[in-house]
Amino acid sequence: MSERTPEVEAGTPEQENHTPNHRPRLALVTGASSGIGQAFARRLGNEGYDLVIVGRRLERLESLAREFPNVMVRPLVADLGTDAGIEAVADICAHEEISMLVNNAGVAHYMPFTELPADKGSELLHVKVVAPTMLARAVTPGMVARGEGTIINVAGMLAFSGQAPAQGRATYVATLAHLVALSQALHQELHVQGLRIQVLCPGIVATEFHERQGFDLSALPRMSAEDVVTASLRGLELGEVVCAPGVERTELLGAVVTASLAAFGAQSAQLAERYHTP
């Protein structure tokens, strides 16, 4: 844990964050050892948030913590692909005053569905479905009691690609779609109690993520992790529940929501005509 220096100049984010008249802001970021999670931790640390940074590589977490001598940074090694790892992080979410939860940890395991080993499938579902859901479940009672709090679930534009002609990512795409639906439903339930919920859906981002899957996407146009974080935080200010950093025409996202609600509202208790016996 890095220690805060005893003297802070007036007007700095650190002072604003820790004066007696202001409750300290604490952000918990999963997958903070690289990529988007690391960019979130850096941005929030620079804005004066105390941090709990979660990942599987202690040396990277400790290196990141040393960048912020003026805020409290707690590295936490946890594998969110396991029940034990999820429970360790959920315990912090439940018992500390978390101002912002960034559910960013990710793993892909791209491969044909029939070839996906059970252990890899379970890991993917734990990291991208169980962990974000259970961490949100643990953190929201405290946020509701305080009347404020932010949850950012990092998904991706692949959440909208279920019908795209691509092989080897059925389970991964489904996990991202879960995050979109979860975030939309949580927003409907919790925004009236002062909480902000966002699902962040970037496209291809210049991080280690695809390299760890054995893919070289360096020749493709890619957004920086820093720009993704900029879009997310600005999206919160704009009130966006679904934040798509690379989509210029926001009405396209609105059309998806409108079409979904139209289909939902068009149902009835009667069997649709097309299912009647000819």
Residues whose CB is less than 8 angstroms from the CB of residue 188 and which lie 6 or more positions away in sequence, other chains included: none
Helix (H, G, I), strand (E, B) or coil at 107: coil
3-state per-residue secondary structure call for 54-72? EECCHHHHHHHHCCCCCCC
Catalytic residue among 49, 110, 172, 275: 172
Instruction: Answer yes or no: 49 catalytic.
Output: no
Report the alpha-carbon distance of residue 99 to residue 49 in Å, rounded. 9
Chain position carrying tokens 């909480």: 195
Q: Which of 95, 67, 64 has its CA nearest to residue 77?
A: 64
Report the alpha-carbon distance of residue 50 to residue 217 in Å, rounded. 34
Chain position carrying tokens 């018992």: 95
DSSP assigned state of 166? -
Contact 130, 86 (CB under 8 A): yes
Report the alpha-carbon distance of residue 48 to residue 71 in Å, rounded. 7
Q: Which of 184, 183, 222 has its CA nearest to residue 204?
A: 222
Q: Which long-range CB contacts under 8 A does 43-49 form with residues at least 24 apart?
A: 43/226, 43/229, 43/230, 43/233, 44/100, 45/71, 45/73, 46/13, 47/13, 48/12, 48/13, 48/14, 48/15, 48/16, 48/17, 48/18, 49/17, 49/25, 49/99, 49/100
The set of catalytic residues is 172
